[in-house]
Amino acid sequence: MKMTKIAMLILTLAVTLFILIPSLSWAEDGAALYKAKCAMCHGPDGAGKPAAKIPSLVAPEVKAKADADLIKTVQTNPKHAALAKALNEDQLKAIVGAVRDLQKK
């Protein structure tokens, strides 16, 4: 009887975790966010579009900026107003992480 209760408890926990774990997100996927929100203008490689005056995110001067400065740029640039409203701080940090990965390539 006691063994059956323990087995049922373990089974219940396993099923619960199996159902819940995929829907939990402890960290945003920065690469997917970049692709969805930034790549259309800055390009998939972050090179920007100089002819359209869209800056490169892989340029040395951008590499030298702190993460907080990049986030502040998105939050304060009028061209990014809709983007800044649509993304929370964690999402912006994830995107900056993706940009840092692009800068390593």
Q: Any idea what the CATH number is for the domain that residue 97 is in? A: 1.10.760.10
- List the domain range (segments joined by +) for residue 97: 28-104
Inter-axis angle of helices 89-104 and 30-37, nearest 10: 90
Confidence band of 15 (pLDDT split at 50, 70, 90): confident
Confidence band of 38 (pLDDT split at 50, 70, 90): very high
Instruction: Give whole-number Cα distances, 101 to 6, 22, 40, 47, 94, in Å.
Output: 46, 25, 18, 13, 11
- Predicted pLDDT at 22: 56
**45 or 83, higher pLDDT:** 45
Rounded to two decimals, the pTM is 0.71
Q: For residue 49, is it within any domain?
A: yes
Query: What are the helix (H) ranges across the chain?
Result: 2-20, 30-37, 39-42, 60-63, 67-76, 81-86, 89-104
The phi, psi pair for 27, rounded to 5°, reads -145, 140
Instruction: Indicate the SS3 state at residue 54.
Output: strand
Q: For residue 22, is it within any domain?
A: no
**What b-and-e string marks burial along 56-70, b requiring 16 or more CB atoms within 10 Å of the CB?**
bbbeeebeeeeeeeb
Q: For residue 7, is it within any domain?
A: no
Q: Give yes or no for residue 26 having a pLDDT over 70.
A: no
Q: For residue 100, is it within any domain?
A: yes
Look at the block and give the residue holding tokens 């829907």. Answer: 23
Number of separate domains in the chain: 1
- Predicted pLDDT at 69: 94
Q: For residue 23, is it within any domain?
A: no
